[in-house]
């Protein structure tokens, strides 16, 4: 629990003066994400601590290096939570103790199975304090529920993998915990499973997770006990779902990317597409999460063939983990979009010192 | 058309420009005469007016693109316009510029009930989307009170909210993909049919950018399932602070209402006189708390909320028993603005956001300040997310009254910032709040906004003079502030 923002500003200013790229590191639990970049490591994990939290406001502000574990424990004491079910990487082999940091989680925009219903960390961000590539400490957004003053450079940090600023403080909207969570599952083939998970999502039942794999559809209901129990009964009758007592562990493994289908020795590919897209033609079996909008497949694949399918399905594919990380790992963007992204990066980081090349070789 | 890469403004007259547009746009949609232009002189904030050079209403994407290319080549300002319901003079014309109306782009292109999305043109009204989706038991979440008129393009540009945003989010949370034209007329797609996209999240940045970064040409919105049941609890309290406490207590019980609104005594009396829905006119504050979900859940939550209200001293509690009663009880809230319009010749609507815990304090201080200036303020607002909408009542025919109203308005926004809030929760900055921007942001932050703007619009011809103040004016605006900041600068990095 300490404030090292002064030191961090000095590091960035020094780097800018010496045109020396920086590699921003939280707990280093997601070093595998994005492209390999070289740069002087800057450690943000020591810049930690919860700064403000009043349960009645549903807002929490913490330094970027604060571990998610600490945040979740603090929220849980008040029956509140981070609503986007982030992966914690707390048992990771990276040697760091606390697991994922808040800053790293926002930079990577990682959210768990409930994402289609409860939103992502990007959706919950209210404000960010950051150091831009000029070494200026800036505040965007705020600590209140709504704020449309100025461009939303807070939310824009989500998924930027540190390329738009070294984040120092983050304010998030938090939510009450549901009274009850219940998992159900059903044997069903892939094509029918995709249709069913979308149909269930279009009902007003409190569904908050839907994942198909190994010829089984897993769903979770979360909310007030009355509505969860009533909905579970209805779905057991209507579709033949059975209560899945191992559900909690399943969702945790899925959230932490630790299902056997996500073998960490193999390249892992991630599709982000229209949830209703038909089964993808890939080598091996898919894990279909987010009610169809996020799909995983591991092993050696033809990248161009995957990209074509992703495009047809209204989205994109990334080489998420493993494989060649010096090449591009994200779907190519049109020329005009590339240029605009470069100009935006340049507006915040004119000397290209903040995690250059992490998202794309040209960014 | 020759481009003008050096941006040396080659002059073109109004009639030459109109003739140029007339080559590819139906001439009746190229408006040059003052009389026909008149309805375009302002948006919903009619105190700020300006007449444009031209108004154009293109009907196809190609026409839109050509308008932008021509304007770009002559460095002519372009002000996009949806329905003109904005409340910050964001769509106010530029005297040397073109008003680009998107009114002709009013088609819903596709509804996909399985994927729960609607693909719409920018000029489609907010309510039309929900109406079209209703046959699939789906609807579009954000519901600004102006929803019968305002367009989805305007909603994206302002990141609009509404009564139900407490539970269902703002515009930014409810759109998947935006197709836009850059100032150069280049077509770009932000977002995708999936839930995220590779590269930088330009959709997050673009949403709420007030027509300063590009023109929305198509939006893919998310649709939500219509809840099985919704019930409204209307409770009167004998003080604003008792009502404010009750809002916090409901949230601490772990309940997130679909909507949670507050009205003060002026608003209650005005609304009741206008629509006669049975609000308790002797109450000092009224809470409207809507709960939705499955039938059992709503029943449980309604009991819980009602008992919190009772415990915290509600003087009256009414629970809607059917859909008709629910709609009727909402009607008072929804017509509060016109109702207030009947008790005062003019009113001026503010839009600050504060931490919820500050509600009672801010409303009390606001009343004191209004008394000093001999003005009345009616409050009707989104209490659940701390988004105030003070309506300052004044009479524009009395010289100096609007200046006084503006002074009170500015004070309110400054006070919102002083207690840790923001100058605008959903209406945007536009021209109106540009003087308060340097109260909320440091010079370095404002400079960063200008750099972002330049990344999209290097010549600064998209909606100039709106949203972000010129750096050289910031000191002057700060010097005019009514509330002095605490001695010690809280914003680190800001030069004294
Ligand atoms: C009675 C009343 C109640 C209201 N209630 C609410 C409320 O509850 N919540 C809320 O958030 N707002 C509310 N508003 C404000 C207003 O309705 C919203 O800001 C709305 O989104 C504006 O939409 P519009 O189509 O009228 O846009 P306009 O007023 O025409 O334009 C607004 C801004 O968007 C830009 N713009 C418009 N179309 C485009 C486009 N296609 N591409 C790029 N930029 C564009 C304009 O340049 C301008 O800066 C209310 C207004 C009124 C009059």
Domain closes at, from A156, A176, A196: A176
Going by pLDDT thresholds of 50, 70 and 90, the confidence category of residue A263 is confident
- A204/B294 CB distance under 8 A: yes
Whether B425 contacts B161, CB under 8 Å: yes
Is A286 contained in some domain? yes
- CA–centroid distance, B233 to ligand 1, in Å, is 29
- The reply to whether A47 falls in a domain is yes
Under an 8 A CB cutoff, do B385 and A293 touch? Answer: no
Q: What is the CA radius of gyration of chain B?
A: 23
B chain contacts of residue A209, beta-carbon cutoff 8 Å? none
Mean pLDDT (chain B, rounded): 94
Whole-model pTM: value is 0.96
Statement to judge: residues A155 and A192 lie in one domain: no
Q: Is position A250 within any domain? A: yes
**With 70 as the cut, is the pLDDT of residue B303 above it?**
yes
The DSSP string of A76-144 is HTTTEE-TT-----TT-TTS-SS--BHHHHHHHT---TTHHHH--HHHHEEEEEEE-TTS-EEEEE-SS
Q: Which CATH number do you get for residue A66?
A: 3.30.465.10
| Interatomic CA distance for residues A87 and A110, integer angstroms | 7
User: Is it the case that residue B1 has pLDDT exceeding 70?
Assistant: no
Determine the average pLDDT of the residues in A114-123.
98
Instruction: Tell whether the model's pLDDT for residue B71 goes beyond 70.
Output: yes
Identify any residues that bridge with B189 across adjacent strands, giving them in sequence order: B179
Task: Report the C-alpha gap between B141 and A10 in whole angstroms.
Answer: 45
CB contact under 8 A, B297 and A205: no
Total number of domains constituting chain A: 3
Do A216 and A309 sit in the same domain of this protein? no
Residue A331 falls inside a structural domain: no
Name chain B contacts of A345, Cβ cutoff 8 Å. Answer: 200
* DSSP annotation of B444: H
Best A151, A221, A315, A357 residue to mutate vs chain B (most B CBs within 10 Å): A151
**What does the alpha-carbon distance between residue A280 and residue A154 come to, in Å, rounded to a whole number?**
35
Q: Does residue A185 lie in a domain region?
A: yes
What gap in Å lies between CA B274 and CA B259, rounded to an integer? Answer: 22
Compute CA distances A93 → A33, A211, A261, B144, B337, whole Å: 15, 27, 19, 49, 59
Q: Of A288, A305, A321, which residue constitutes the final position of a domain?
A: A321
Q: How confident is the model at residue A48 (pLDDT cuts 50, 70, 90)?
A: very high
Mean pLDDT (whole number) for B272-285: 95
Is B160 near ligand 1, meaning CB less than 6 Å away? yes
**Residue B495: what pLDDT?**
41
- The CA B106 to ligand 1 mean position distance, Å, reads 15
A192 within domain boundaries: yes
Say if B495 is an interface residue toward chain A (CB within 8 Å). no
Beta strand B187-191 pairing with B215-222: unpaired
Same-domain status, A13 and A148: yes
Tokens representing B37 are 């232009």
* Percent of chain A with pLDDT strictly greater than 70: 98
**Averaged pLDDT, A355-361:** 98
Give dist(CA A57, CA A80) in Å, integer.
11
- Flag whether pLDDT at B132 surpasses 90: yes
Q: Which residues of A touch B192 (CB under 8 A)?
A: 272-273, 314-316
Give pLDDT, residue A98.
72
Are A146 and B455 inside 8 Å of each other by CB? no
Kindly state whether residues A94 and A243 are assigned to the same domain.
Answer: no
Strand, helix or coil for residue A221: strand
Between chains, do B293 and A109 touch, taking CB under 8 Å as contact?
no
Quote the CA–CA distance of B143 and B330 in Å, as a whole number.
13
Residue B93 CA to ligand 1 centre (angstroms)? 14
Return the number of other C-beta atoms located less than 10 Å from residue B188's C-beta: 19
Average pLDDT (A117-126) is 98
pLDDT for the residue numbered B133: 98
Interface of B with A in 113-152 (CB under 8 A): 113-116, 136-138
Together in a domain, A51 and A116: yes
Per-residue pLDDT at A97: 58
pLDDT score recorded for residue A91? 67
Residue B124 has pLDDT above 50, yes or no: yes
Tokens of A302: 């033809």
| Dist. CA A338–CA B200, nearest whole Å | 10
Q: Between residues 288 and 307 of chain B, which touch chain A (CB distance below 8 Å)?
A: 293-297, 299-301
**CB proximity list for A308: less than 8 A, separation 6 or greater:** none
Position B277 confidence tier, pLDDT thresholds 50, 70, 90: very high
Torsion of CA A267, A272, A278, A282, to 10 degrees: -10
Of A240, A255, A270, the domain-final residue: A255
| Per-residue model confidence (pLDDT) at position B254 | 94
- Whether residue A211 is predicted with pLDDT greater than 70 in this model: the reply is yes
Closest residue by Cα to atom 1, ligand 1, is B146
Does the pLDDT at position A96 exceed 70? no
Which residues, 6+ apart, have CB-to-CB distance to B278 below 8 Å?
A: B272, B318, B329
| Model confidence pLDDT, tens digit, residues A280-296 | 999 999 999 999 999 99
Q: Of all residues in chain A, what percent carry a pLDDT higher than 90? A: 96
Query: Are A90 and A142 found together in one domain?
Result: yes
What is the span of the domain harbouring residue A65? 5-176
Q: What is the ipTM of this complex?
A: 0.97
User: Do A29 and A154 share a structural domain?
Assistant: yes
**What digits encode the pLDDT tens for the residues A10-43?**
999 999 999 999 999 999 999 999 999 899 999 9
Q: How far is CA B493 from the centre of its chain?
A: 31
Looking at the fold, whether A172 and A186 belong to one and the same domain comes out as no
Query: What is the band of B189 on the pLDDT scale with cuts at 50, 70, 90?
Result: very high
Q: Same domain for A216 and A290?
A: no
Q: Is A44 helix (H, G, I), strand (E, B) or coil?
A: coil
Neighbour tally for A346: CB within 10 Å: 16
Judge if A111 and A12 occupy the same domain.
yes
Whether residues A159 and A10 fall in one domain: yes
The SS3 of residue B101 is strand
CATH number for position A236: 3.30.70
The predicted-structure confidence for B358-378, as pLDDT tens digits, reads as follows 999 999 999 999 999 999 999
Mean pLDDT of B228-254: 96
Nearest residue, CB atoms, B226 vs list A56, A204, A341: A204
Report the gap between the CA of A67 and the closest CA in chain B (Å).
24
pLDDT in tens, A140-158: 999 999 999 999 999 999 9
Q: Is the pLDDT of residue B496 over 80?
A: no
Same domain for A21 and A91: yes
Q: Which residues are CB-contacts of A163 (< 8 A; sequence separation ≥ 6)?
A: A345, A349, A354, A355, A356, A358, A359, A363, B200
In a domain, A118, yes or no: yes
Q: Is-contact A73 A88, C-beta < 8 A?
A: no
Would residue A358 count as lying in a domain?
no
């Amino acid at each position: 629990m300490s404030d090292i923002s002064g030191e961090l500003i000095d590091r960035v200013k020094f780097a800018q003066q010496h045109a020396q790229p920086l590699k921003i590191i939280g707990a280093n639990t997601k070093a595998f994400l994005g492209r390999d970049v070289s740069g002087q490591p800057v450690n943000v994990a020591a810049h930690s601590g919860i700064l403000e939290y009043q349960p009645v406001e549903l807002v929490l502000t913490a330094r970027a290096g604060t571990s998610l574990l600490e945040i979740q424990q603090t929220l849980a004491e008040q029956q509140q939570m981070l609503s986007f079910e982030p992966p914690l990487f707390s048992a990771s082999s990276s040697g760091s103790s606390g697991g994922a940091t808040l800053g790293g989680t926002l930079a990577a925009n990682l959210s768990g199975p409930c994402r289609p219903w409860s939103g992502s960390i990007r959706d919950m961000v209210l404000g960010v304090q950051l150091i831009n590539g000029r070494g200026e400490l800036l505040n965007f957004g705020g600590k209140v529920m709504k704020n449309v003053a100025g461009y939303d450079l807070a939310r824009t940090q989500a998924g930027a993998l540190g390329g738009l600023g070294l984040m120092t403080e983050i304010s998030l909207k938090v939510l009450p915990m549901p009274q009850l969570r219940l998992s159900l599952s059903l044997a069903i083939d892939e094509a029918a499973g995709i249709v069913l998970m979308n149909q269930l999502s279009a009902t007003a039942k409190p569904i908050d997770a839907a994942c198909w794999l190994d010829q089984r559809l897993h769903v979770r209901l979360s909310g007030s006990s009355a509505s969860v129990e009533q909905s579970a009964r209805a779905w057991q009758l209507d579709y033949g779902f059975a209560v899945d007592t191992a559900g909690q562990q399943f969702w945790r493994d899925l959230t932490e990317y630790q299902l056997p289908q996500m073998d960490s020795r193999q390249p892992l590919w991630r599709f982000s597409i229209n949830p209703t897209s038909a089964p993808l033609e890939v080598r091996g079996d898919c894990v279909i999460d987010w009610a169809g909008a996020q799909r995983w497949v591991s092993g050696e694949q033809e990248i161009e063939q995957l990209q074509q399918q992703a495009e047809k399905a209204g989205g994109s594919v990334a080489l998420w983990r493993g494989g060649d990380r010096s090449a591009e790992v994200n779907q190519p963007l049109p020329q005009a979009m590339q240029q605009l992204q470069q100009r935006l990066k340049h507006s915040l980081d004119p000397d290209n010192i903040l995690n250059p090349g992490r998202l794309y070789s040209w960014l | 058309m020759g481009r003008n890469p050096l941006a040396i403004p080659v002059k073109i007259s109004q009639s030459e420009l109109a003739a140029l547009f007339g080559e590819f746009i139906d001439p009746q949609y190229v408006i040059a005469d003052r009389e026909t232009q008149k309805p375009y002189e302002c948006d919903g904030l009619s105190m700020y007016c300006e007449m444009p050079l031209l108004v154009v209403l293109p009907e196809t994407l190609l026409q839109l693109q050509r308008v932008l290319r021509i304007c770009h080549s002559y460095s002519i300002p372009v002000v996009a316009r949806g329905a003109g319901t904005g409340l910050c003079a964001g769509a106010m014309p530029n005297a040397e510029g073109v008003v680009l109306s998107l009114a002709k782009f009013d088609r819903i292109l596709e509804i996909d009930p399985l994927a729960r999305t609607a693909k719409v043109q920018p000029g489609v009204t907010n309510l039309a989307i929900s109406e079209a989706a209703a046959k699939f038991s789906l609807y579009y979440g954000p519901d600004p009170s102006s929803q019968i008129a305002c367009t989805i393009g305007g909603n994206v540009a302002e990141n609009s909210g509404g009564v139900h945003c407490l539970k269902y989010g703002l515009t930014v949370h409810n759109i998947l993909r935006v197709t836009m034209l850059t100032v150069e007329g280049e077509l770009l797609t932000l977002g995708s049919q999936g839930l995220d996209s590779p590269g930088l999240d330009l959709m997050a940045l673009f949403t709420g950018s007030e027509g300063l970064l590009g023109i929305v040409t198509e939006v893919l919105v998310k649709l939500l399932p219509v809840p099985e049941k919704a019930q409204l609890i209307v409770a009167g309290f004998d003080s604003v602070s008792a009502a404010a406490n009750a809002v916090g207590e409901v949230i601490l019980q772990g309940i997130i209402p679909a909507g949670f609104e507050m009205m003060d005594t002026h608003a209650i009396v005005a609304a009741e006189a206008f629509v006669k829905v049975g609000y308790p006119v002797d109450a000092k504050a009224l809470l409207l708390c809507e709960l939705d979900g499955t039938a059992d859940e709503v029943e449980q939550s309604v009991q819980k909320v009602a008992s919190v209200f009772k415990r915290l001293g509600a003087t009256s509690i009414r629970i809607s028993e059917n859909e008709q009663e629910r709609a009727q009880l909402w009607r008072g809230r929804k017509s509060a603005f016109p109702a207030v319009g009947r008790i005062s010749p003019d009113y001026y609507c503010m839009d600050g956001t504060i931490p919820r815990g500050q509600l009672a304090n801010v409303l009390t201080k606001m009343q004191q300040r209004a008394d000093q200036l001999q003005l009345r303020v009616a409050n009707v607002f989104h209490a659940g997310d701390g988004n105030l909408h003070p309506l300052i009542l004044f009479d524009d025919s009395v010289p100096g009254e609007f200046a006084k109203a503006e002074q009170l308005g500015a004070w309110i926004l400054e006070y919102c910032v002083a207690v840790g809030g923001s100058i605008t929760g959903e209406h945007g900055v536009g021209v109106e709040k540009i003087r308060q921007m340097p109260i909320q942001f440091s010079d370095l932050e404002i400079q960063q906004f200008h750099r972002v703007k330049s990344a999209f619009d290097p010549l600064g011809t998209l909606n100039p003079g709106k949203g972000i103040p010129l750096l050289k004016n910031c000191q002057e605006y700060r010097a005019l502030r009514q509330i002095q900041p605490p001695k010690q600068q809280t914003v680190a990095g800001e030069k004294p």
